[in-house]
Chains A and B, each alone.
Chain A
């Protein structure tokens, strides 16, 4: 006679994934890649500042009308913002939890200290904190215009020129973009490794792509404050 075998219901797949170090790291990798894609689009959009006020102001307006008449005015923008907020939150929470765990796993340091890993790798945690603080400043400066001297809604060109007319705004921006470059240099390759996309043959190519993306985004973003400082954009 056979007896029915009953197995305890296992916890849900997503919960198990989130609780494991490998799964949490995958959440970090995916949310990081989402933000990276957004940054490429954001950087390309910024470059329109070089083609005059009408170009970038028109582009900003178009972003608000995108999806009409299916979406109402600004709906696309709010959907994108919700997605980005979720990505930032997932990235930050998993980074915080994993960092806590990592620090606890190595409670005592070696007496003989030597430099470990590359600069980009060692600065991931502090770099991430700098970027999070920068995002807050950046939104107050150029989205809500709370701390912007021009503060003209619908006129991003004028707001950008006004913002970078202050030296400290340029310093904040430049420091943050250098941190961003370092973060992506390690982060992109690390995400490929975490999601299992890396292997011995692809390793070099992935590192090259990571460096290329980091350089492209840093140079692209930095070109705007540099242009304002040098009077190319005024």
Chain B
């Protein structure tokens, strides 16, 4: 496959950025999107140019490190992470636009790399259980109904990639925050800190400069792990209960 790439290049946090056009050839449809970028970077390095900076780690779709906006969609046309997006979803001769996550709370570090430490600070404000809950055998000591376990697991799947924020027209972190709030608040181990958790995490989310939720649903559409939109309703319910109850 031969492709035209238009990639956002930005030398540093305060440097101006722009879309730069590159041609890549000899791309196999079995390559992942990141392998395609690796091919481009090898060429750039051989030519003595700066390679395109992007985040990546496991390349198995489970760590949440990678992520870029491809043709206006977070993680591209398929519902998966960028590392698990394969070039067979593109056609020979395509022009592909590649941009970093855009949000005030996710400043660009370089090229396609953004600083997502705002997410870490939201988790740090309550996305955990303070008391030690024991090791694996102790898990059986606290019975958890199947439905509850399923709900908790569905929300624990969030890998914190930030696609929800990137897709949201308001740069809102509601889906990310609700995934962690619902994951821990439905479990008996998370129940004692239920109220303080949701209040502190929403306060941390607001303090980071994320936007509010206008229920456009872009986040849930972009989420590679399928965190559902009603999770935001569940967090709203928890927040109002904690504030008014």
Residues of A within 8 A of B (CB): 13, 16-17, 19-26, 98, 101-114, 116-117, 121-122, 124, 186, 189-190, 192-200, 203
Contacts and interface: CB of A to CB of B under 8 A. Distances in A.
A193 B239 CA distance: 13
B215 A112 contact: no
Nearest to A203: B230
Interface of B: 6, 8, 19, 69, 71-73, 97, 99, 102-105, 168-172, 199, 202-203, 205-206, 209-218, 228-230, 232-241, 243-244
A101 B234 contact: no
B213 A25 contact: yes
A111 B19 contact: yes
Contacts of B238: 196
Contacts of A103: 170, 211
B243 A13 contact: yes
A26 B214 contact: no
B104 A104 contact: yes
Nearest to A10: B199
B99 A112 contact: yes
A218 B195 CA distance: 41
A193 B99 contact: no
A195 B6 CA distance: 42
Given A20-B202, A22-B236, A101-B211, A106 B104 contact: yes
Contacts of B171: 102, 105-106
Contacts of A17: 243-244
A183 B210 CA distance: 24
Given A112-B71, A114-B72, A193 B97 contact: no
Contacts of A98: 212, 214
19 contacts: A13-B243, A13-B244, A19-B206, A22-B202, A25-B212, A25-B213, A26-B236, A102-B171, A103-B211, A104-B211, A106-B102, A110-B69, A111-B99, A116-B216, A190-B214, A193-B229, A196-B233, A196-B237, A197-B233
A23 B211 contact: no
B239 A22 contact: yes
Given A102-B170, A121-B215, A196 B240 contact: yes
B106 to A, nearest CB: 10
B104 A111 contact: no
A23 B243 contact: yes
Nearest to A106: B171
Contact of B230 (A21, A25, A198): A198
Main secondary structure on A side of the interface with B:
helix
Contacts of B212: 21-22, 24-25, 98, 101-102
A109 B103 CA distance: 9
B12 to A, nearest CB: 16
A110 B72 contact: yes
A198 B172 contact: no
A105 B218 contact: no
B170 A117 contact: no
A107 B203 CA distance: 21
B240 to A, nearest CB: 6
Contact of A200 (B8, B102, B228): B228
Contacts of A122: 216
Contact of A112 (B69, B232, B240): B69
Contacts of A186: 215
A45 to B, nearest CB: 31
A109 B102 CA distance: 7
Contacts of A200: 228, 230
Given A112-B99, A193-B229, A200-B228, 20 more contacts: A13-B243, A20-B239, A21-B202, A22-B236, A23-B240, A24-B212, A103-B211, A105-B209, A108-B102, A111-B19, A111-B99, A112-B97, A116-B169, A121-B216, A122-B216, A193-B232, A194-B233, A196-B239, A197-B233, A198-B230
B223 to A, nearest CB: 15
Contacts of A22: 202, 212-213, 235-236, 239-240
A102 B214 contact: yes
Nearest to B102: A108
A23 B215 CA distance: 15
Contacts of A16: 199, 243
A98 B215 CA distance: 13
A195 B72 contact: no
A189 B215 CA distance: 9
A218 to B, nearest CB: 21
